[in-house]
Amino acid sequence: MATYDSLFSALGLKQWCAEGKADGPMSMADLLNKASGKSAEPESLWDLPFPSMDALNDSCAAFPKSRELTQGLEQGFLAIKDNLSLVLDPITQPLSWSLDGALYGMINTPWWIVIPIMLAVVFLVTKSWKLVVFVGASLCLLAFIDYYVYAMQTLAIIFVCAFLCVLFGVPIGIAMSRSNTMQRLTIPVLDMLQTLPPFVYLIPLIFLFSVTESKLYGIAIILYAIVPVVRLTNLGIRLVDKDVIEAADAFGMTPRQKLFKVQIPLALPNIMAGVNQTIMMSLAMVVIASLVSAPGLGVLVLRGIRNLDLGVGLIAGFGIVILAVILDRVTKASLARINASQNQ
C-alpha cells in the first residue's frame, strides 16, 4: 500500500496500473526500505510525500519513475548522436588540426625563437617597453622552473580558440546589430552559454566527440569564451554616434562602406574590450578543459588535486595567474592605444 493508491482507484486507473507491474529497476531507497522491513506507508499527514514521479510509481507501477526520464534523455541523445556526429565531425575537424598544429609548433620551436617572437608581438600591439620587460621576465621565470612546455601548451590553445572566437564572434555581433530579430534570437543563446556551469556543457560534448580528439576541448572553450566578443561587438556598433552615421548616409555611403569605414572603426574600443574578456575566459576554460584531456597548466592543477600534490598544484596555479596577468595587461594596453587615438 502506498499514499496515492486511492487517487488512482478514484480515477479508475487500477487496471492500467496493474498492467505495468513488471519489475522495473529498483531504487536505492526501495532497497533500503526492503532491508529494514519498513513499509513505505506514511504515518500521518505530516509525512505526506510530494506527488512526484517516484511517489506515484509506488502506488501505480505503470507510472514512470524519474530515473526513466534521465534514461530516456540519454537514450534519445544516443539515438541522434550518430547522425549528429556524422555532420559535426567533418565540420569541426579543422579545429582539431589547428589545435594540434599550434601545440606542435609552439612546443617544437626552440624557446629562443618563441620567446623573442612573443616579445615582438607584445611590443607591436602595446608600444610599451615596460610591458615587454614584464612579459619577458614572466616567461623566463616560468621556463626557469621548468613549466615552459605546459605554459606554451596553454597559450597555444588560447591563441587558437580566441582567434576563432573573434573570427566567428565579430560577424555574429555585426549581424545582431543590424537586425533586431537576430538580436532577439541570439541573446537567449548567449545568456544560456554564459550561465550554464562549464562542467555541464562538457557532458553532451563528451558523448559527441571522443575524448582523445582535441576539438572536444576546443569547442568547449570556444562556446564558453565567444559570448563577450559577440555581445560587445553588437553593443559597440549599436552605440556608434547617430550623428556620424547620419553624416555617412548624407554623403552617400553604401551600407558596406558605412560598416567598414564608420561602424567597425568606431566600435573598435568595445570590440577590443570583448576580445580581452574572450581571452580571459578562454584561459579560465582551458584549465577546466584539462578534465577532458586539454594539455597545459590545467593538467598540473588537476594532478595536484588528484594526487594531493600540493606543491605542483600551487605552482601550476601561480603559472596560470602569471599568464592571466600577461594576457590581460597586453590586451588592455592595446585597447588603451585604440581609445587614445579616437576619444572625442
- Chain positions contacting other proteins, by CB under 8 A: 241, 243-244, 246-247, 249-254, 257, 261-262, 265-266, 268, 341-344
Q: Quote the DSSP letter at residue 268.
A: H
If phi > 0 it is left, if psi is from -120 to 50 it is alpha, else beta; for residue 27 that is beta
What CA–CA distance (Å, rounded) separates 129 from 119? 10
Give kind and range of the element (H or E) at residue 157. helix 148-178
- The nearer residue to other proteins, 175 or 338, going by C-beta atoms, is 338
What CA–CA distance (Å, rounded) separates 151 from 139? 9
- The nearer residue to other proteins, 149 or 336, going by C-beta atoms, is 336
CB of 303 to other proteins, least distance (A): 48
CB of 268 to other proteins, least distance (A): 8
Q: Count how many residues are written for the chain.
A: 344
Nearest-CA neighbor of 142 among 5, 323, 335, 341? 323
Contacts of 129 (CB under 8 A, 6+ apart): 123
What would the grid cell of residue 61 be? 507501477
- The nearer residue to other proteins, 194 or 339, going by C-beta atoms, is 339
CB of 342 to other proteins, least distance (A): 5
CB of 94 to other proteins, least distance (A): 34
CB of 340 to other proteins, least distance (A): 10
What CA–CA distance (Å, rounded) separates 325 from 258? 36
Q: Helix 264-288 crosses helix 297-306 at what angle (to 10 degrees)? A: 30
What CA–CA distance (Å, rounded) separates 106 from 100? 10
CB of 248 to other proteins, least distance (A): 8
What CA–CA distance (Å, rounded) separates 279 from 76? 35
- The nearer residue to other proteins, 33 or 342, going by C-beta atoms, is 342
CB of 231 to other proteins, least distance (A): 22
Decide: 262 and 248 in contact? Cβ < 8 Å: yes
- The nearer residue to other proteins, 2 or 244, going by C-beta atoms, is 244
- The nearer residue to other proteins, 184 or 261, going by C-beta atoms, is 261
CB of 338 to other proteins, least distance (A): 9
CA R_g for the chain: 28
- The nearer residue to other proteins, 35 or 340, going by C-beta atoms, is 340
- The nearer residue to other proteins, 74 or 249, going by C-beta atoms, is 249
CB of 304 to other proteins, least distance (A): 47
What would the grid cell of residue 82 be? 550518430
- The nearer residue to other proteins, 115 or 244, going by C-beta atoms, is 244
Four-CA torsion 147, 151, 152, 156, nearest 10 degrees? 160
